[in-house]
Amino acid sequence: MINTNPNHKHTYDALGKMTCCSLEEKINAKTEHIHKDGDDEHDHSGGSESLFKMFLPAIISLALLLAAIVLENYVKPEWFTSWLRIVWYIAAYIPVGLPVMKEAFESITKGEIFSEFLLMCIATIGAFAIGEYPEGVAVMLFYAVGEVFQTLAVRRAKANIKTLLDQRPDEVTILENHQPKIIKAEDAKIGDIIQLKSGEKLGLDGELLSDTASFNTAALTGESKPDTKTKGETVLAGMINLNTVAQVTVTVAYTDSKLSKILELVQSATAQKAPTELFIRKFAKIYTPIVVFLAVAICLLPYFFVDGYVFKEWLYRSLIFLVISCPCALVISIPLGYFGGIGAASKNGILFKGSNFLDIIANIQNVVMDKTGTMTEGVFKVQEVVIKSEFDKDEILLMVNALETQSTHPVATAIQEHVGNTQTEIALTNVEEIAGQGLKANIKGKEFLVGNLKLMDKYNIAYDIDPNTIVYTLIAIAYDKKFAGYITIADKIKEDAQEAVDKLHSMNIKTTMLSGDKNSVVQYVAKSLSIDNAFGDLLPEDKVNKIKEIKDRKETVAFVGDGVNDAPVVALSNVGIAMGGLGSDATIETADVVIQDDKPSKIAMAINIGKQTKRIVWQNITLAFAVKVIVLTLGAGGLATMWEAVFADVGVALLAILNVIRIQKMKF
């Protein structure tokens, strides 16, 4: 039922219409054409008319087959002569058989001789040659019906992803000379002002011009709770305006929006094959020609060893062998299983970059997580400002604020919010960011440092505080080689962080926290969440060394972070998981898995989806192999009929498909 040649770009929709590629390629083909061709017969949502059209050749074939069986076995009219009987069965065969024969011919011309299409053609034409017309028609009929169910299964697997693809409207309303004008979203330019009515979806990323507006962001984050934005804040394509008319200035081109990045990720997700998938594809290419030669051997070799050899009888056995040996269930269910897993994950706001990561994440033994923005909100608030008496507190704060404007770190944002807007300008020179430590600059010709205590140690600044007595994140300040004081900042633990750790522990997965934040803070958060191991005061290279230590213990590691600052750790881990992929383009590019809604509880969900997908795939492999071996043995021994071969082949394939569909129904 599927062409195993990855280069083969043509097939049929099972019942007469040639469409794009084999089932595996239908699954793997970029979903881009679904978005562009909403009326695509093969991939659109599929009403009763399209279903009837898909089944029509099978209905015609079945009606002619049943009529022939009734006429031949029960009515027995004189006019149903041998030649008319043959013509009748040929007419029943053509609607479902002709597309397969055409596909077999095209496979041969492209260099793939031993395809399952050829197996079905040989088996059915052979059945006609020995006078088994009903069975010849039935083989192809059930084969075709199986293809329709495969097509429907692919549609179902794609449903969640297709919903995501439909989140971006094709048209937007812009204001031109203060008058609304509807244009194609892709024609909108940076700087255009979009007018967004209540209930409308935003077509491009932009900046809110209206004072406030509430948006439904479920399409992007899976979070149904309305998100209220204020003037100047960023709003993203796919968000739905909930209240009054809002105006948005376009800041990003149509093809560069966050949603476009997500769509590209989803569209290419199945390009990365799981090892099981790659093995089955190679296996099918070797397996198919072997069974063809075995079928020939079953037909001819008994001539030399069996008394009373009857060619017709042994040809019939070899044809049964061919029908049973078709590797449809294996080659169908495996890519469809992984695609179903990717679809189920997408439905829950988790994006996998490929089916290979579903396989890897299922075997994770240790989840290593960053602290800030992963297990905590990443929204810092200043708790205390302590400045030594010999310094002017207001002046120091202004200097800190001026230096922190050079950074995008959440700590810098917290300080800026605390100090507030100021008209005083501070002249900074030689500004330098020291990785994992803080910022350095010259102010009025004197050295100014803002960062952690490692920064103080680096520049030999003596300080008279015990960091172990301070639970909060500590920002030390030094001016003119003297310790000027410190600022403490606190971050809130996420609501579902405890749930995330508990779920991981229930799956017997170790948890580790690595952070560049002060060790006492890291230990406090880790203890609050019952995380197994925690390490603070780490530089990026220290995190890499910790990951190496874990891998040296032969443990598979998933690292969860922002995917940008921790790029080396993400690259070193077996699976890199990024929290809140909509926050950064680089996150989407570096991570293997993106959790869109920033919820740490989705880490365990992603692992569970990987485990369930892998379990279903292996269930299908076991079922297919077991049935194949049993019925192949019976067929070669003359104990199975062509009808049983058909039901065994198509039945196993349909059971595999139904098993795959289960993952779409599961709650994780």
- DSSP annotation string for 42-101: TTS---HHHHHHHHHHHHHHHHHHHHHHHIIIII--TT--HHHHHHHHHHHHHHHHHHHH
Looking at every residue in the chain, the average pLDDT score rounds to: 80
The answer to the question of residue 601 being in a domain is no
pLDDT of 668 strictly over 60: yes
Residue 307, pLDDT score: 86
Which of 148-162, 309-323, 487-501 tops mean pLDDT? 487-501
Q: Are residues 22 and 147 in the same domain?
A: yes
**Nearest alpha-carbon partner for 182 in 168, 164, 196:** 196
Sheet containing 510-514: order of strands: 350-352, 593-595, 575-579, 557-561, 366-369, 510-514, 533-535
What average pLDDT score do residues 567-593 get?
Answer: 74
Contact assessment for residue 342 and residue 593, using Cβ atoms and an 8 Å cutoff: no
What average pLDDT score do residues 19-30 get?
Answer: 40
Residue 390, pLDDT score: 92
The answer to the question of residue 1 being in a domain is no
Residue 64, pLDDT score: 94
Q: Are residues 155 and 59 in the same domain?
A: yes
Q: Are residues 242 and 210 in the same domain?
A: yes
Contact assessment for residue 512 and residue 534, using Cβ atoms and an 8 Å cutoff: yes
Q: How many domains does the chain have?
A: 4
* Residue ranges of E strands in 314-461: 350-352, 366-369, 376-387, 428-434, 438-443, 446-451
Residue 549 structural domain: 350-371+495-596
HSE (side-chain half, CA atoms, 13 Å) at 513: 30
With the C-alpha atoms ordered 590, 594, 599, 602, is the resulting torsion angle positive or negative? negative
Residue 161, pLDDT score: 53
Residue 157, pLDDT score: 56
- The tokens describing 310, both together, are 């009857």
Q: DSSP secondary structure string, 218-243?
A: HHHHS--S-EEEETT-EE-TT-EE-S
Residue 44, pLDDT score: 39
Higher pLDDT, 221 or 589: 589
- The tokens describing 642, both together, are 């062509």
The answer to the question of residue 2 being in a domain is no
Residue 276, pLDDT score: 61
Higher pLDDT, 341 or 20: 341
Q: Are residues 337 and 360 in the same domain?
A: no
Q: Are residues 469 and 419 in the same domain?
A: yes
The answer to the question of residue 102 being in a domain is yes
Residue 339, pLDDT score: 80
Residue 557, pLDDT score: 95
pLDDT of 504 strictly over 80: yes
Q: Are residues 536 and 637 in the same domain?
A: no
Return the CATH number at 197: 2.70.150.10
Q: How close are the terminal C-alpha atoms of the chain, in Å? A: 31
- The tens digit of pLDDT for each residue in 355-404 reads 888 989 999 999 999 888 789 887 788 888 999 999 999 999 999 988 88
The answer to the question of residue 603 being in a domain is no
Q: Are residues 282 and 240 in the same domain?
A: no
Q: Are residues 416 and 439 in the same domain?
A: yes
pLDDT of 611 strictly over 90: yes
Residue 123, pLDDT score: 80
Return the CATH number at 572: 3.40.50.1000
**Nearest alpha-carbon partner for 569 in 547, 594, 538:** 547
Q: Are residues 50 and 146 in the same domain?
A: yes
pLDDT of 288 strictly over 50: yes
pLDDT of 71 strictly over 70: yes
The answer to the question of residue 657 being in a domain is yes
pLDDT of 573 strictly over 80: yes
Residue 103, pLDDT score: 84
Beta partners for residue 384, in sequence order: 488
What average pLDDT score do residues 533-560 get?
Answer: 90
Q: Are residues 144 and 200 in the same domain?
A: no
Q: Mark which of 211, 229, 256 sits at the end of a domain.
A: 256
Q: Report, as residue numbers or ranges, the catalytic residues.
A: 370
The least confident of 7-16, 102-111, 456-465, 581-590 is 7-16
What average pLDDT score do residues 297-306 get?
Answer: 90
**pLDDT confidence band for 581 (50 / 70 / 90):** low
β 510-514/533-535 pair status: parallel
What average pLDDT score do residues 235-243 get?
Answer: 84
Contact assessment for residue 171 and residue 184, using Cβ atoms and an 8 Å cutoff: yes
Contact assessment for residue 424 and residue 398, using Cβ atoms and an 8 Å cutoff: yes
Q: How far apart are CA 411 and CA 413, in angstroms?
A: 5
pLDDT of 9 strictly over 50: no
With the C-alpha atoms ordered 335, 341, 345, 350, is the resulting torsion angle positive or negative? negative
Q: Are residues 356 and 335 in the same domain?
A: no
Q: Mark which of 492, 526, 549 sits at the end of a domain.
A: 492
pLDDT of 43 strictly over 50: no
**pLDDT confidence band for 19 (50 / 70 / 90):** very low
- The tens digit of pLDDT for each residue in 404-442 reads 887 767 778 888 888 877 667 788 899 998 877 889 999
Higher pLDDT, 560 or 340: 560
Q: Are residues 101 and 233 in the same domain?
A: no
Q: Mark which of 562, 596, 630 sits at the end of a domain.
A: 596
- The tens digit of pLDDT for each residue in 456-483 reads 999 999 998 888 788 788 899 999 999 9
